[in-house]
Amino acid sequence: MKLPNLLRMPILFAFALCIPFVSLAAETEASPILGDSAKGREQFVRKCATCHPVDLGGRSNLGPNLHGVFGRVVGSYEGFRYGAPYLAAAQAGEVWTPERAFEYLLDPTAMFKGGRMILRVRDETIRADLTAYLLSISPEYRPK
Ligand code: HEC
C-alpha cells in the first residue's frame, strides 16, 4: 500500500525521535566499569574492609583509608606509610579514577609492582560493583 505523503512525514518524524534513545542505551552499555554500588558495598565489607576503613577523615589500618579515593592522588592518604611503587605514582601526580581502580583491582601488583596490596578481583561484575561503591564514598569526585 502506498502511504499518502501527509502520513509519511509523521512516521519519519517518530523515527527520528527514537534515535537519541537508542544511542543513550548504547552509551550506558559502553560503560561497564560502574556496577551496583549496594552490591559493591557488600563485597567491600567481605573483601576489603578489614584492611581499609572508609570513614571521613578517619585513620588508616593495614591499608589506607579509602574515603574520597576518587580524585585523590595515588598513595597520598595522610599518615599512611605507602610502599615505594605507590610513592612513585604519587610523585608522578597520578590520580585515582573509576577507570584506574577498575583496572587496578584486576591485579594490583601488575600496576604497582612490589606493592603490598595483592588482592585480585577477577570477576568483572564484582569489580564494577566495587568501583561503583568506591565512587559512592568519593562524594567530592568530579570526572574530568
Ligand atoms: C590485607 C589487606 C588488604 C586488603 C584485604 C585489601 N587491601 Fe587495598 N591496600 C592494602 C595496602 C597495604 C595498600 C597500600 C599498598 C602499598 O603501600 O604497598 C592498599 C592500597 C589500596 C588502594 C590504593 C589507595 C591509595 O591511597 O592509593 C586501593 C584503591 C585499594 N587498596 C582498594 C582495595 C579494595 C577495593 C579491596 C577489596 C577488593 C582491597 N583494597 C583489599 C591492603 C589491603
pLDDT digits (tens, 9 = 90+) for 56-91: 999 999 999 999 999 999 999 999 999 999 999 999
Does the structure show a pLDDT above 70 at 123? yes
| 143 inside domain | no
- Provide residues with CB under 6 Å of ligand 1: 47-48, 50-52, 62-64, 66, 69, 74-75, 77, 82-83, 86, 101, 105, 115-117, 119, 121, 130
Residue with cell 609492582: 113
| 130 inside domain | yes
User: Could you please report the per-residue DSSP string of 33-83?
Assistant: T---HHHHHHHHHHHTTTT---STT----SS---TT-TTSBTT--TT----
133 Cα: distance to centroid of ligand 1 (angstroms): 14
| 26 inside domain | yes
25 Cα: distance to centroid of ligand 1 (angstroms): 34
Tens digits of per-residue pLDDT, 46-59?
A: 999 999 999 999 99
| 39 inside domain | yes
144 Cα: distance to centroid of ligand 1 (angstroms): 24
Q: What is the mean pLDDT of residues 129-140?
A: 98
| 33 inside domain | yes
- Assess contact for 136 and 37: CB atoms under 8 A: yes
Domain that holds residue 43: 5-136
| 115 inside domain | yes
| 68 inside domain | yes
| Substitution site in 80, 91, 119 for ligand 1 pocket (most atoms within 8 Å of beta carbon) | 119
Total domains, the chain? 1
| 141 inside domain | no
